[in-house]
A and B are shown apart, each in its own frame.
Chain A
Amino acid sequence: MTLEPTAFASYVSHRVPGALGVSVTDVERIHGGASRQTYRLRLSYDEGGARVDRPLILRKDPPASLIETEREAEFAAYAAFYATPVPVPEALWLENDPKWLGSPFFVMEELQGFEAGPQQITQPPYAEHATRLGEQKWTILGQIAQADPFALGLDQALEAVEPAESWKRELDYWAAKLDRDAGKPQPVMQAVIRRLRRAPPRPPERLGVVHGDYRTGNFLYDEEGSIHAILDWEMAHLGDPLEDLAWSLNKVFHWARDGRAGGLMARDEAISIWERSAGREADPESLLWWELFNCVKGQAIWLAAGKEFMAGNNRDPVLAMPGLIMANSQDRAALDLMGRLR
């Protein structure tokens, strides 16, 4: 599936009634996450005597994706955090009608000139700014944890849950997804799931916003060590913000392979920064629960991706890699957290 410039130009003419001479150029598919097809393009048109010329990102539902995510949730998260201390690109249009481009999509501004790659951040010229990037990464995550989802209006797009039940909703969902998509028995993860059900975490004092995939690779950074935008909110939901902190510490994201969380800084340092920013302590037992939970969630995602690729539902090589590279690492991360890795 490709993106037809004329089809999108027609959509813009419909969406912006005063737009004249709509032009869509430089359409290029990019690797912007496996859950949606992502395109970069330039949109130009005349409106009220002025020329509008904007680089945009269009995220379109694929035939099959890494996870069945709600585009409304992702769009709502971008819209809610725009112009807050949590940096995000401006979300422009959400379109659920497939008649325009063959499947639903949404459009947001493109922030140009930045890097997002998790491997590149461990290499020059970015590596020397690892500490500065880490400070921003976990400070911003603390700001997300502090955000009031009801004041932001996010309870309209993201389903609320009793704080004491948030762990159960997430575990039930991801354990079921693992059962459905793993294809093979998962003795490590099944042991983790039994342990998680035996000893639930302490409930959060209040419901918070959970990004759902907060890791190195899902933010834009520059050569001076500044973070410019948090991306990929497709798994955003309401729950315990410790879930995000735990995900950011997942050892499968140790891209520098030297024990630094997210390839940036020591685990304890990252937790301290998050605690200062979030204004709350990360209870070690609850954090461990969420870290183990995230091993289950991660494994469900990696194996679901491989299933889609093997079934031929989606030929994007991005879907082949997690099952090959991450799945065994995720088992090892879980064993390590439980003190069972030899």
Chain B
Amino acid sequence: MNLDAGKMLSSAAVGLIDSSALGPLEGYAGASAGGLGMALMILSDQLDSAVATLSSENDALREIFGSAATRVGGELGERLSATGQGQGDDLRVHVLQAENDALRALLIELHAWVEEAGADAADLDDTIWAELSASTERRKVGFAPF
């Protein structure tokens, strides 16, 4: 049988939550074990979707940068153009995450430029907000309060 990392984490999580892993724990220790179990449960879910989530988001951001580059112009436009043409082919999570960090940092710069541009860039503003909303949908945690 092949070991499935997500299922291993999930099983460990349940063991901490229902006390089957460590035996009955009371008070602070029991609550802490339950808390760690919940954390592992969330991480187990994220482990399964991490590559898909980050790849989708990185692609969406590159597409926005590619279409915005010529309108923005200047040094920022050049960076948007170069980034928009980039293509991440390393699917390890830490590499995708590093790309995502760089892309989201550039998105902040672009969004600030769009706000300064006002009505002339209203459509781009809507596009950015739509992507930010989509991003929170991708990252949604099942039992989060909102």
Contact = CB atoms under 8 A, between A and B. Distances in A.
Contacts of A320: 35-36, 39
A231 B136 CA distance: 32
A321 B39 contact: yes
Given A326-B144, A328-B139, A329-B146, A317 B28 contact: no
Contacts of B133: 335, 340-342
B72 interface: no
Nearest to B134: A342
A252 interface: yes
Interface residues of A, number: 37
A16 interface: no
Interface in A166-206: 184-188, 190-191, 194
Nearest to A328: B139
A36 interface: no
Interface stretch (A42-50, A67-75, A253-261, A266-274): A253-261
Nearest to B31: A31
Interface in B100-137: 101, 104-105, 107-108, 111-112, 115, 129-130, 132-137
Contacts of A31: 28, 31-32
B138 to A, nearest CB: 9
Given A185-B105, A329-B146, A318 B35 contact: yes
B144 A188 contact: no
A28 B28 contact: yes
Contacts of B31: 31
A108 B140 CA distance: 39
Contact of B140 (A190, A317, A318, A328): A328
Contacts of B23: none
Interface in B27-49: 27-28, 31-32, 35-36, 38-39, 42-43
B27 A29 contact: yes
Contacts of B146: 251-252, 254, 257, 329, 332-333, 336
Interface in A187-239: 187-188, 190-191, 194
Nearest to A333: B146
Contact of B136 (A251, A254, A332): A332
Given A29-B27, A320-B39, A187 B141 contact: no
Interface string A118-149: 00000000000000000000000000000000
Contacts, number: 100
Contacts of A321: 35, 38-39
A52 interface: no
Contact of A185 (B107, B129, B141): B107
B145 interface: yes
Nearest to A37: B28
Contacts of B139: 328
Q: Is the interface of A mostly helix, strand, loop or mixed?
A: helix
A151 interface: no
Given A324-B43, A335-B132, A255 B112 contact: no
A253 B107 contact: no
A331 interface: yes
B35 A184 contact: no
Interface in B60-113: 101, 104-105, 107-108, 111-112
A335 B140 CA distance: 14
A109 interface: no
Contacts of A318: 35
A30 interface: yes
A206 to B, nearest CB: 33
Interface of A: 28-31, 184-188, 190-191, 194, 251-255, 257, 316-318, 320-321, 324-326, 328-329, 331-333, 335-336, 338, 340-342
Interface of B: 27-28, 31-32, 35-36, 38-39, 42-43, 101, 104-105, 107-108, 111-112, 115, 129-130, 132-137, 139-141, 143-146
Which 6 residue pairs of A and B lie closest in terms of their CB atoms, listed nearest first? A317-B35, A185-B104, A251-B146, A29-B28, A185-B105, A340-B129
Given A254-B146, A325-B144, A329-B141, 12 more contacts: A185-B108, A187-B104, A187-B132, A190-B108, A252-B146, A320-B36, A326-B144, A328-B144, A331-B135, A331-B136, A332-B140, A335-B129
